Amino acid sequence: MIQLYHVYKRYPNGIEALSDVNLRIGEGEFVFLTGASGAGKTTLVKILLAYERPTSGQVLVSGRNLGVLRASSVPFLRRNIGVVWQDFKLLNSRTVFDNVAISLEILGLRPKEIARRVSQILDVVGLEKYVQARPLQLSGGEQQRVAIARALVNEPAILLADEPTGNLDPDLSVEIMNLLLDLQQKGTTVMVATHDRFLLERYKKRTLLLNRGFLVEDTSGLETSFNAASLLDDDEEERKR
Ligand SMILES: Nc1ncnc2c1ncn2[C@@H]1O[C@H](COP(=O)(O)OP(=O)(O)OP(=O)(O)O)[C@@H](O)[C@H]1O
Ligand SMILES: [Mg+2]
């Protein structure tokens, strides 16, 4: 479903965000992608969606070789991948309804069907009251849930969530995680980028650990990772400074 072979990503400023990353994520798997701030998590998410191209190496997503993907095929790739961006990327001039409905409108669904699906998913994330609100009238956690609803509404085969619980209190984080795990149970491949140790320790799922662009661990999640703990601690220290 997702495969990377010797993937490197060097940005124009010379920063090497990914170095020789090799990994394989099977259909229907749930994986955490972790690592300190700047380790390359968001870069990897962007590469999987063809928002960034690797400098070298190969990336396969749902049978598509992204290295040779034509620009005209990119929308088909993205149609099958739901994404929750770290900074949400909501349209602030549009209502919550419009933000969530957009992918269904692009697919050409009928307005009645769109309304049904949008209200169903807003119900799931607990935002049914806010259908007509604008994103900036909502709290950070509520905006995050709009972003999650938008990613899920067209039932994508793959869900990439970049710090999906970053702005949520622990109870809501657990609810969102349960939602993501439910999705996986139904067959969706889910990748959650996070440096939230609470999530990693609570759910014990396969965990990919990036350190300065290198994939330094790939564990089943059952064994507590000495490396992950120390790297994530560094990160917290850095943020306090
Ligand atoms: N568009 C860009 N141009 C240049 N450098 C970039 C760009 N995007 C990211 N970087 C750099 O690449 C490295 C990896 O960044 P990335 O955003 O992938 O990290 P991250 O693991 O998602 O971090 P965080 O936990 O803070 O979100 C960092 O050193 C960052 O400064
Ligand atoms: Mg990031």
pLDDT at 164 exceeding the cut of 80: yes
* Ligand 2 center to 115 CA (angstroms): 32
Nearest ligand 1 atom to the CA of 163 is 27
Structure tokens at 222: 């059952």
| Mean confidence (pLDDT) of the chain | 92
C-beta 17 within 6 A of ligand 1: yes
Cα 46 to its chain centre, rounded Å, is 9
pTM: predicted TM-score of the whole model, two decimal places: 0.92
Cα 144 to its chain centre, rounded Å, is 12
Nearest ligand 1 atom to the CA of 195 is 25
Pocket test of ligand 1: the residue of 8, 9, 11, 44 to mutate, having most ligand atoms within 8 Å of its CB, is 11
Torsion region of 20: left, alpha or beta (phi above 0 gives left; psi -120 to 50 gives alpha): left
pLDDT at 89 exceeding the cut of 60: yes
Give the rounded percent of residues in the chain with a pLDDT score beyond 90: 80
Q: What is the pLDDT of residue 233?
A: 66
Residues in Cβ contact with 239 at an 8 Å cutoff, skipping those fewer than 6 apart: 37
Q: Which three-class secondary structure state does DSSP give residue 180? A: helix
Residue nearest to atom 30 of ligand 1 (CA): 38
Region 173-191 average pLDDT: 92
Q: What is the pLDDT of residue 48?
A: 98
pLDDT at 240 exceeding the cut of 60: no
Region 87-94 average pLDDT: 96
Which residue carries 């949008």 as its tokens? 118
* Ligand 1 center to 126 CA (angstroms): 32
Spatial strand order of the sheet with 189-193 comes to 81-84, 158-162, 189-193, 30-34, 206-211, 214-219
Q: What band does 74 get if pLDDT is binned at 50, 70 and 90?
A: very high
Q: How far apart are CA 40 and CA 213, in angstroms?
A: 5
Residue predicted with more confidence, 240 or 52? 52
Q: What band does 172 get if pLDDT is binned at 50, 70 and 90?
A: confident
Nearest ligand 1 atom to the CA of 39 is 21
